[in-house]
Structure 1
Amino acid sequence: MGVNLVIGKENSPISVKDAKKRILKSIKPINKTEKVNTEDSYNRILAKSIKAKRTQPAFNTSAMDGYAIKKKFLKDLPIDLDILGETKAGDENKFILKKNQAVRVFTGSFLPEGCDKVILQENCVSSKDKVLIKKENFENYIRKRGEDFFQSDQCLLKSSLMDSGKIAFAGAMNYKTIDVYKKPKVGVIANGNELFEPGNKNLEIKQPASTKPSIMSLINTWGGEAVDLGIAKDTTYSLKTKIKKGLACDMIITIGGASVGDYDLVHKSLSEMNFGLNFWKIKMKPGKPLMFGILKNKPILGLPGNPVSSMVCAQLFLKQSIYKLQNYNYIEKIFHLPLGKDLSKNGWRESYIRGYMSKNKNNQIIAMPISNQDSSSLSSYSKANILIIREPNARKIKKNSLVKAIILN
């Protein structure tokens, strides 16, 4: 994997937009591919465009249960028609319609030769070998041959993100396996003497490294393969040891130690390893001490230590990175929702306010900000399912004003 390094004023805070652009420009996709069964391809990126191996439907097909007829013989209603027989879904058609004849059909049945309309069964009264057509329905209820796709149609394009609909589509085209890009391996290092692995003996003077499993789960959700590199102590030796191990991965994520305190040693450790810093600090709240750069052609994203800051930054910067490694251009969907309560004037940084979607008295979906916006509060983050975006220095806004929001995860 190669990298395009972008150089700027590394220590000057940059905008969220600029940070996203720099990261995407610096990351080159992994081009290794593998075959997977279609049922295992959810959220994977298609590595080759695929063409249909069959036509769907293969013949004209009934869209409803009823009777296949020729329209020109329905001049006078009601009318009695002779029933030639019936065709069920999966049966081969063996009938040719002639004057005053009908064939009993069901949803998915191939239609007899000459049929140009299906009369709904509720518009008919049948006896043993006759059917009385009482009235003619407006719709023809015929699915034409190839209405969905024809054999050799190029139906799914390279770099498509596979979801449940596309998996069903590939199956309908008769694919058992498809080619996808390999999952990028993303190493995750938590940093801090105060941390211990969640589930270990609880020490009141220390803190579980709770963000690490969360970030790892997000990496896996976004199509990557998270590699747990453990917890680095607040020494350059410990950090460099973990980072060297992480160079076997396609990308490295550090959590904590990216600020400028005496014991924030991620940047110092990387600098001693010939790290190419791209930027360090962004005009964003929460998440100002975000770091990004390149070490030995591997992108390294340094997330802030505060739990909420790191998870918000992962949503904005790590998500797009993992998809880019898989040859997919991820674009965050922004929704405009009415605000559930007033918001005060914003500061000089672009803000991402935790909130949740609710409904007002008119049953309209609204964006409700959560009261506690402290960057260490995981209880408030666990209640959030959206981030409300506020521009730098935005004025106070009233309840019911439209705000921009993104959905978490």
Structure 2
Amino acid sequence: MAKQPLLPVEEARARILASLHTTPVESVSLADALGRVLAEEAIARRTQPPADLSAMDGYAVRAADVASVPVQLKVVGEAPAGSAYSEHLGKGEAVRIFTGAALPRGADAIVIQEDTERDGNTVTIKEAVKAGRHVRPCGLDFRTGDAGMSVGRRLSPADIAFAAAMNLPTLNVHKRPVIAFFSTGDELVPPGTEPGANQIISANNDGLAALIIEAGGIPLDLGIAPDQVGAIRDAAERAGAADMLITLGGASVGDHDLVQEALSPLGLDIDFWKIAMRPGKPLMYGSLDGKPMLGLPGNPVSALVCATLFLKPAIQRMQGGDSALHTSIARLGRDMPANNSREDYVRAGLDHVHDELPVATPFEVQDSSMLSTLADAGCLIVRAPGAEAAKAGTIVSVLPLRT
């Protein structure tokens, strides 16, 4: 393959996202809807409140009858929550009412219990109220036919409650994309295994599975393929009907980087290879017999940083959701040297300061083999290619890693 120039990060991400299609739509129960992305508007099936309701315990009155106080009114009935006073409220009358109960016909205000004094069937009103006081009008929240939630919304617990209130037992959402992945390398053994000579514990599969779940996808772990063309090919073929295939390692330039050799006969079509970024330069993207395929670096830190920048937005795009990377700003907590020609993603602690910008302090050692610093990082400081040296206190762009 002819050598390709290093691709800028933004162009790489744009090309990945442009190549993807949203997953099909399915109807799920509210119990299964958390974190899903709406594929169709959620339309209210009822009006809420369905009638004018009392917002307080007290007495339903006509505001005109209590414009001048104190005044005595005749208590003609009671309206507990879930029930109603069926008669029309007349002049000089009041109804004992409780929070959530429907206002009687003719009433237009509530006097709270603390502003009254009851004696048998007579209540003395001690505070004047205007029409509408302590009343939740019909349709205050929403009305039948209202579009309560729009397409592309990732559903939160409050959204689930909102859908339930709209009398929607199910919601139409995009299917979770299935992301198949496997690591490559003779040196890798799974966690819980005692490594032999020249072997290491594989951290990539479990870390990537967690990221896929966090992004809303379904992980399909195909395990570890040894550095053999046949084994790599067999692993890829087991991706089956997955929506995307991820390889971890084996896509660089060494003699044992066999992914391209193994998968070319299966229809591997490479869009780009190598990105102008650190960590994560040896990143590959294309398709395998029409299935989107992302080749992540084998180094665990590089793999997770690249997955954050490229795979997570891809999963969100496939679900019809927000695929943007939401960066913010912070003050630099330590001097930083000038950057080279690659966009740099620097692991840093992120300390929040009351009423001030957070402080991003880069870890002194940025070796890409160190998962401990990635686990401790609150953000990645994003440094443009060729960025000048920066002093502590400089405002920098950061990509938060924890919410």
Same fold by TM-score greater than 0.5: yes
| Residue 23, structure 1, aligned to residue 16, structure 2 | yes
Which digits, 9 at most, give the CA deviation of each residue in 1:181-208, with x for residues without a partner?
2222111111111100111234363111
Change in Cα spacing, 1:203 to 1:99, as seen in structure 2 (3 Å) is farther
| Residue 243, structure 1, aligned to residue 236, structure 2 | yes
Q: Distance in 2 between matches of 1:383 and 1:57?
A: 47
Q: Helix, strand or coil: the match of 2:221?
A: strand
What corresponds to 1:75 in structure 2? 67
Q: Quick one: which amino acid aligns to residue 140 of structure 2?
A: E
Q: Distance in 2 between matches of 1:351 and 1:127?
A: 77
1:247–1:298 CA contact under 8 A, matched in 2: no
CA drift of 1:127 comes to: 4.1
Q: Helix, strand or coil: the match of 2:266?
A: coil
Change in Cα spacing, 1:84 to 1:28, as seen in structure 2 (3 Å) is same
| Residue 292, structure 1, aligned to residue 314, structure 2 | no
Change in Cα spacing, 1:339 to 1:108, as seen in structure 2 (3 Å) is farther
Change in Cα spacing, 1:130 to 1:248, as seen in structure 2 (3 Å) is same
Q: Quick one: which amino acid aligns to residue 166 of structure 1?
A: D
Q: Quick one: which amino acid aligns to residue 72 of structure 1?
A: A
Change in Cα spacing, 1:337 to 1:65, as seen in structure 2 (3 Å) is farther
Q: Distance in 2 between matches of 1:282 and 1:110?
A: 64
CA drift of 1:232 comes to: 0.9
Q: What number of residue pairs does the alignment pair up?
A: 400
2:345–2:382 CA contact under 8 A, matched in 1: yes
Structure 1 regions of 5+ residues with no counterpart?
1-8
Q: Distance in 1 between matches of 2:182 and 2:147?
A: 43
Q: Helix, strand or coil: the match of 1:397?
A: coil
What corresponds to 1:94 in structure 2? 86
1:52–1:154 CA contact under 8 A, matched in 2: yes
Which stretch shows the higher mean deviation, 308-317 or 270-279?
Answer: 270-279
| Residue 135, structure 1, aligned to residue 127, structure 2 | yes
Q: Distance in 2 between matches of 1:131 and 1:274?
A: 85
What corresponds to 1:336 in structure 2? 329
What corresponds to 1:374 in structure 2? 367
What corresponds to 1:356 in structure 2? 349
What corresponds to 1:56 in structure 2? 48
Identity value in percent? 38
Q: Distance in 1 between matches of 2:168 and 2:354?
A: 48
| Residue 405, structure 1, aligned to residue 391, structure 2 | no
Change in Cα spacing, 1:360 to 1:47, as seen in structure 2 (3 Å) is closer
1:256-295 mapped onto 2 (5 Å cutoff): 256-295=249-288
Q: Distance in 1 between matches of 2:125 and 2:3?
A: 79
Q: Quick one: which amino acid aligns to residue 133 of structure 1?
A: I
CA drift of 1:266 comes to: 1.7
Which stretch shows the higher mean deviation, 253-262 or 320-329?
Answer: 320-329
Q: Distance in 2 between matches of 1:88 and 1:341?
A: 64
1:32-43 mapped onto 2 (5 Å cutoff): 33-43=25-35
Change in Cα spacing, 1:342 to 1:92, as seen in structure 2 (3 Å) is farther
Change in Cα spacing, 1:318 to 1:191, as seen in structure 2 (3 Å) is same
What corresponds to 1:167 in structure 2? 160
Q: Distance in 2 between matches of 1:103 and 1:310?
A: 68
| Residue 388, structure 1, aligned to residue 381, structure 2 | yes
Structure 2 regions of 5+ residues with no counterpart?
none
Q: Helix, strand or coil: the match of 2:238?
A: helix
Q: Helix, strand or coil: the match of 1:246?
A: coil
Which digits, 9 at most, give the CA deviation of each residue in 1:275-295, with x for residues without a partner?
111111111111111110011
TM-score by length of 2: 0.91
